[in-house]
């Protein structure tokens, strides 16, 4: 993310990708550097509980410590899932939002009314992630300053509308909302927001129509998904590396991506490759 002269954040794919990569790195650290030792602690606590059967007081202490460790482990898993939403990558926006709502209801006193339509097809990875992060930030805000929140994800024809509001009266911590709106607008999503004094946000986007892909472009995508280099793809297709670069340029343009990884992710989402 860079900042123009007027101070307004500007988002590009590289900065967003770096941010998400750092989130995934932190999630892995939580799981392996903290979660694993706590799992070992739980296993040892179970041994102590059994061996202390003749000493009820000591057994109770071991049981309490084990309960605290289980709570800490669940919090680590929740935080890891928030940093790296694997459900979003594997199943898409609607299931990931439902899981996020369930976690919020379980861990906070916030009351949430929601209605989420299943989507007929996957959105681009960038759009799904941006919408998910926006709602994630909104729920975090609401859990701190509100008692009730409402989330709607509605499909009508080829238009998707996501609306969110809560009854918070706090106006001093809304930078996150401006940040989320800028991320959405950077992808061409129409956003309306109101403060009254609570906030209400509506994001509307027309589902992208999959552009026509030639057989050659789909073939290149297939080899990309298998991890082949440009030179290897050229050899398999019996063309020059320059021709492969030409196809890649067209693929990037049609899928609105800027890297091989993003192209493969988009191709998988749109079921262009298996």
Boundaries of domain holding 175: 92-206
List strands edge to edge, sheet with 148-156: 111-116, 148-156, 159-166, 199-206, 190-195
pLDDT reported for residue 231: 92
Please give the average per-residue pLDDT across 192-215, as a whole number. 69
51 vs 38, 44, 95, 124, CA distance in Å? 20, 11, 43, 54
pLDDT at residue 271 is higher than 70: yes
Per DSSP, the three-state class of 114 is strand
pLDDT reported for residue 273: 80
Query: pLDDT tens across 118-144, in order?
Result: 887 777 777 788 888 888 888 888 888
Q: What's the chain's average pLDDT?
A: 79
Please give the average per-residue pLDDT across 50-55, as a whole number. 84
- Residue 116, strand partner residues: 153
Please give the average per-residue pLDDT across 98-124, as a whole number. 88
In a domain, 120, yes or no: yes
Same domain, 197 and 248: no
- Of 184, 188, 244, 178, nearest in space to 217 by CA: 244
- Of 8, 76, 10, 68, nearest in space to 41 by CA: 68
- Measured from the Cβ of residue 75, the count of other Cβ atoms closer than 10 Å reads 13
pLDDT reported for residue 171: 54
CATH code of 226's domain: 1.10.10.10
Query: pLDDT tens across 228-237, in order?
Result: 999 999 999 9
> Using CA atoms, how far apart are residues 129 and 148, in angstroms rounded to an integer?
24
- Domain boundary pick from 83, 113, 143: 83
Same domain, 120 and 223: no
Comparing 174 with 115, which gets the higher pLDDT?
115
- Of 253, 249, 255, nearest in space to 269 by CA: 255
In a domain, 1, yes or no: no
pLDDT reported for residue 172: 58
Same domain, 173 and 96: yes
> Using CA atoms, how far apart are residues 172 and 164, in angstroms rounded to an integer?
19
- Domain boundary pick from 186, 206, 226: 206
pLDDT reported for residue 120: 76
Comparing 74 with 99, which gets the higher pLDDT?
99
Count of structural domains within the chain: 3
In a domain, 45, yes or no: yes
Q: Which helix H or strand E contains 203, and what residues bound it?
A: strand 199-206
Query: pLDDT tens across 154-170, in order?
Result: 888 778 888 888 888 76
In a domain, 21, yes or no: yes
- What is the pTM (predicted TM-score) of this model? 0.60
User: Which tokens is 4 given?
Assistant: 């123009």
> Using CA atoms, how far apart are residues 126 and 1, in angstroms rounded to an integer?
15
- Of 21, 4, 140, nearest in space to 79 by CA: 140
- Domain boundary pick from 206, 223, 258: 206
CB 162 within 8 A of CB 135: yes
């Amino acid at each position: 993310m860079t900042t123009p002269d007027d101070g307004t954040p500007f988002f590009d794919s590289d900065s967003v990708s770096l941010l998400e990569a750092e989130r995934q790195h932190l999630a892995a650290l939580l799981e392996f550097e903290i979660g694993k030792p706590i799992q070992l602690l739980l296993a040892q606590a179970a041994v102590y509980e059994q061996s202390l059967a003749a000493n009820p007081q000591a057994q109770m202490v071991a049981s309490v410590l084990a309960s605290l460790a289980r709570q800490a482990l669940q919090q680590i898993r929740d935080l890891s899932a928030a940093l790296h939403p694997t459900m979003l990558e594997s199943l898409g926006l609607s299931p990931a939002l439902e899981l996020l709502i369930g976690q919020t209801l379980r861990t906070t006193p916030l009351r949430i009314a929601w209605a989420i339509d299943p989507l007929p097809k996957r959105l681009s990875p960038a759009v799904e992630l941006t919408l998910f992060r926006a709602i994630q930030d909104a729920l975090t805000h609401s859990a701190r300053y509100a008692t009730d929140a409402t989330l709607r994800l509605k499909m009508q024809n080829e238009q998707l509308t996501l609306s969110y509001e809560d009854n918070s009266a706090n106006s001093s911590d809304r930078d996150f909302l401006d940040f989320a709106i800028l991320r959405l607008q950077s992808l061409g999503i129409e956003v309306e927001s109101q403060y009254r004094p609570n906030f209400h946000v509506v994001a509307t986007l027309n589902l992208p129509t999959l552009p026509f892909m030639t057989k050659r472009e789909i073939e290149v995508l297939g080899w990309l998904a298998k991890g082949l280099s440009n030179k290897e793809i050229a050899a398999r297709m019996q063309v020059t590396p320059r021709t492969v670069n030409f196809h890649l340029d067209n693929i990037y343009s049609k899928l609105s991506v800027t890297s091989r990884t993003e192209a493969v992710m988009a191709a998988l989402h749109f079921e262009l490759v298996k």
